[in-house]
Structure 1
């Protein structure tokens, strides 16, 4: 019998995946907006790594951080997305995204026990950069609200994947599980350096 700690991430992932099955055809209206929005965070290594790192960081901090960090990221990402959709310019978006991969990877790799307020501020700042990129890259034929819902659902799915990976690694081995999570963080650091230097 699965415990509630295991059931919740699995149900969250299943719920997030269910709408995507219904929007497999991207040719018209609402379908196009949601599908484009859903696929955008999944189309770039930078977005995927940063969002998974948020989930792993939340798992490492534990307690309220497990839901507060992802929630804060999604809400402020939506705000950044609104800025991008409406054409409000924002400097250093690509640098901010690359730094998010590097910094979030570093805090996971080093298992930084940051105060919750500091963690929320950092995650929130990076979320605005990611949201702005999602919003400004919205296709002209995609409905804004449906597009936003799509990239928010995909983001929640990636956060849940990070939390679930941390949980399963920790449960599989008390000795090697945390090391696996920290190794994933180290990989993100290397990728972040590659993004900043233009290698990736």
Structure 2
């Protein structure tokens, strides 16, 4: 078995393990809401947020140049805006479909290696970040320490972006280019399954 096929098999097994995770539990804080630790764990507990955040990092790496930092930063910034909108009582329609749709779209962007100007990439991820942020912001009042909780989920989201960036750079060095597109296709397929389950 070649190095590329071993790497592809490893990613396939990892994707299968991820698909066994709960889909939307990142949006069920309830009585478990606490502070910083809960904020850190929250984005890691739902497959929808997890895949979308990693996908943002992968796509940013594919775009290269300034997009490597600008696209993930745009996501985090607009996620905070979405959170503020929720906390101040501004409602947004279709929040959960928007979150699940982001998984599908980001996966497709990776699978097609879509090339857009950095500012367009920032706008695309920023739009969907509003949905993710609004979902988090809706849960903030239930947290024992909202500021610490918000800081935790911002840091966890940034970490997941970094995981995606690192994964893309590693695959770029160790495997043929199509492997990254296959990963994107797997993310998009997971998005389709999540949207279909709504």
Q: How does 1:51-90 map to 2 (within 5 A)?
A: 51-90=53-92
Q: Which residue of 1 aligns with 2:116?
A: 114
Q: CA deviation at 1:88?
A: 2.3
Q: Does 1:164 align with 2:163?
A: no
Q: Could you give the per-residue CA deviations for residues 104-158 of structure 1, whole angstroms, max 9, x where no partner exists?
A: 1001011011121211110000111000111112362432211110000000100
> Are the aligned partners of 2:87 and 2:141 in contact in 1 as well (CA < 8 Å)?
no
Counterpart for residue 184 of structure 2: 185
Residues matched between the structures, number: 166
5+ long unaligned stretches in structure 2 = 1-32
Match of 2:194 in 1: 195
Distance 2:132 2:158 in 1: 13
Instruction: In structure 1, list runs of 5 or more residues that go unmatched.
Output: 1-30
Return the TM-score normalized by structure 2.
0.79
Check conservation: 2:59, 2:109, Cα contact below 8 A: yes
TM-score normalised by the chain length of structure 1: 0.79
CA shift, 1:91, in A, is: 0.5
The 8 Å contact of residues 140 and 150 in structure 2, kept in 1 or not, is answered as no
- Inter-partner Cα distance in structure 2 for 1:141 and 1:122: 29
Identify the residue that residue 15 of structure 1 maps to in structure 2: none
Give the whole-Å Cα distance in 1 for the aligned partners of 2:52 and 2:34. Answer: 25
Aligned residues of 1:54 and 1:159 also touching (Cα < 8 A): yes
CA deviations 1:11-34 (Å, max 9, x no partner) are: xxxxxxxxxxxxxxxxxxxx9311
Q: What's the counterpart of residue 5 of structure 2?
A: none
Deviation of 1:180 after TM superposition, in Å, equals: 2.1
* Aligned partner of residue 88 in structure 1, secondary structure: coil
Q: Name segments (4+ residues, structure 1) moved above 4 Å.
A: none
Q: Any idea what SS the aligned residue of 2:81 has?
A: helix
